[in-house]
Structure 1
């Protein structure tokens, strides 16, 4: 199992870095595919709980939110209002017995994914977007690896047993330490001004916290739907939501952090 996870992680990381380095349609296409697969996994969790899925309006809402950095502001809000009304109207028309809670769950998935993953496009407006996205990915991976390693070796005190029984305080500390190590390495290998080093260290600390919050938040969602994994598309890791749950909150944090840092 560990070998499968390791091989998948290395191949996946190499593929992502290749797409990001190529830029253009490779960059945008990568995140659009991730967004759509994540939406499918979320919708599938709804379906497993016997909640009708509003596929078309939900998908349109997701794409509109994700692509919002490319659209004029007036089109963004007009489009969001229109599609939100489409979701409500479709729910009422096709599923008259759809409850408010079920309708809200249909809205939540595309809104959460669209609002977080739109920063994959916003980063393109910053200087050296490849290095900034690489920082976001490295901090996410460091948080996951550090949490897993220290939790496996020394984990005893449960962090949130109701949400994720395997998460420990020792693992949380490992997440922080590995993120700080990545920040120091990033400072060493980039041309970032030394006086901004303290700022980057603080950003890494908050990125670790954001990564763990994203992980626990997705664990809470999966627990609500009664599933262990969101999908199976990534061998040894589960689904896209399983693998990128931390990244969804780290990405906007790194964007705003680097917006002021650079």
Structure 2
């Protein structure tokens, strides 16, 4: 298993890094859209569709919707996404109660459309929006920072959970997650945010805003992980697919980012640090 994980990582890392950080905005949009369409193929399975034709049809629907929604104003879409993720948080908190509402396969497909298309729109807003933050306007650094927040939250949760984990966060959804892990992850992200704010030479009030936005993004990443775990548990599967040997599926790698990216994009937009391209 470890050998498989290493081989997969070695092969995929250059592709992902190149697609995310070396392509121009249009190439970036196509590359990320393709990744999320494949994730949609996996989501169709989470929704109860096992047939290959049905799953690829859903992936195609996602591509069409990406093309349609990318022509719309991004700010209202981010607002709608915020409402959606609040509702998802309520679903996760209530599980296993309330499954009758989202158990129907079409409803789960709609959830996938909102999560995947929404993340793609927010990610491209981070890539192409006008960024004014401290002494940098480099959108690629902003995307890298989003990833660092998610990774920092995950690493902090792992070590704090192992050392201090007692009280379970959501035992019905993910028995391994603890409140100590959440607090440990938030502490790591807060420290990261303070270091980056110092590097950006932000004013005092901006430092507070930057740290709060980063911590909120870290919390959102936890919700993304729990959301996919809930769907997999309901579906009775361990991984979203076996596309990435040793790693599961694409959704298993990006579930936290599906929420973290829109939340960070929304926070920075509300604070006036990221504005849509006119």
Q: Same fold (TM over 0.5)?
A: yes
Alpha-carbon shift at residue 233 of structure 1 (Å): 2.6
Q: 1:122-137 counterparts in 2 under 5 A?
A: 122-123=125-126, 124-127=128-131, 128-137=138-147
Distance 1:230 1:222 in 2: 7
The residue aligned with 1:115 is 118
Deviations 1:119-160 (A, max 9, x none): 111221232321221121111111112112221233222111
- Greater shift in the superposed pair: 134-143 or 59-68: 59-68
Structure 1 portions without partners, runs of 5+: 74-99
- TM-score, structure 2 normalization: 0.73
Alpha-carbon shift at residue 164 of structure 1 (Å): 0.3
Alpha-carbon shift at residue 236 of structure 1 (Å): 3.5
The residue aligned with 2:266 is 256
Q: Does 1:59 align with 2:62?
A: no
Q: Does 1:166 align with 2:169?
A: no
Distance 1:209 1:10 in 2: 29
- SS, match of residue 54 in structure 2: coil
| Equivalent in 243, 253, 256 of residue 243 of structure 1 | 253
Distance 2:198 2:151 in 1: 19
Structure 2 portions without partners, runs of 5+: 74-102, 132-137, 274-278
Distance 1:106 1:195 in 2: 41
Which structure has more RCO (C-alpha within 8 Å, separation ≥ 6)?
Answer: 2
Alpha-carbon shift at residue 55 of structure 1 (Å): 4.1
Alpha-carbon shift at residue 30 of structure 1 (Å): 3.0
Deviations 1:141-198 (A, max 9, x none): 1111211222123322211110001001111111111211221232233355554111
Distance 1:21 1:149 in 2: 29
Distance 1:192 1:23 in 2: 29
Distance 2:14 2:203 in 1: 28
- Greater shift in the superposed pair: 41-50 or 236-245: 41-50
Distance 1:153 1:237 in 2: 25
Q: 1:86-235 counterparts in 2 under 5 A?
A: 101-123=104-126, 124-127=128-131, 128-190=138-200, 192-193=202-203, 195-235=205-245
Distance 1:203 1:145, change over 3 A: same
The residue aligned with 1:23 is 23
Paired residues in the alignment total: 236
Distance 1:167 1:120 in 2: 27
- Greater shift in the superposed pair: 15-24 or 244-253: 15-24
- TM-score, structure 1 normalization: 0.77
